[in-house]
Amino acid sequence: MDDIAHIRAEGAAAPRAGLGIGRQAFGISRDHSKRLELTFVLKNGGSITAVTEFDDALSAESLAAFAEQLTADVAAGKARSFTDGWATSGQHVWVNLGDVAAFSLRPLK
Query: Do 32 and 59 touch, CB atoms closer than 8 A?
Result: yes
Q: Which residues pair with 52 in a beta bridge?
A: 36
Which letter, b or e, does each residue of 75-91 get, where b requires 16 or more Cβ atoms within 10 Å of its Cβ? eeeeebebebeeeeeee
Helix (H, G, I), strand (E, B) or coil at 105: strand
Domain 31-108 has CATH 3.10.530: no
Looking at residue 68, its amino acid is E
- Identity (one letter) of the amino acid at 29? S
CA distance 14 to 81: 46
User: Distance between CA atoms of 39 and 50, rounded to whole angstroms?
Assistant: 6
What average pLDDT values come out for the chain (109 residues) when binned by 10 residues? 55 50 52 87 95 91 95 96 89 95 92
Q: Element (H or E) spanning 9, and its range? A: helix 3-13
SS3 72: helix
- State whether residue 6 is helix, strand or coil: helix
